[in-house]
Amino acid sequence: MPSARPSVSPRAPIFNRLALIGMGLIGSSIARAARAQGTARFIVATARSAATRRRVAELGLADQVVETNAAAAEGADLVI
């Protein structure tokens, strides 16, 4: 009997662009999980602090780090 759930490859991205607003414990954990699971083709992040934005870039948690929430959310399929 066929499954009612659509088959999705674990490596097929669900979202083209994932925007993360705030990169504290939760935001950075979501970024790591999304990267590990291949959830999004492109991850963009923002944080209030310039120091946090620099650290996010250093750690490679996002493909792009921007200064404003609006810039992060622009064109995103999912905003968290």
CATH of the domain at 26: 3.40.50.720
Kindly state whether residue 71 falls inside one of the protein's structural domains.
yes
pLDDT in tens, 15-59: 999 999 999 999 999 999 999 999 999 999 999 999 999 999 999
Cβ proximity of 72 and 49 under 8 Å: no
Kindly report the pTM of this predicted structure: 0.84
**Chain centroid offset of residue 33 CA:** 9
- Residue 8 is assigned to a structural domain of this protein: no
Range of the domain at 54: 15-79
- The answer for residues whose C-beta is within 8 angstroms of residue 64's C-beta and 6 or more apart is 42, 43, 44, 45
The pLDDT value recorded for residue 6 is: 52
Residue 45 phi/psi, 5-degree rounding, is -135, 155
Q: What's the number of domains the chain is made of?
A: 1
Q: How far apart are the first and last CA of the chain?
A: 36
Residue 1 pLDDT class (50, 70, 90 cuts): low
Residue 54 placed within a domain: yes
Domain annotation covers residue 7: no
Residue 7 has pLDDT above 80, yes or no: no
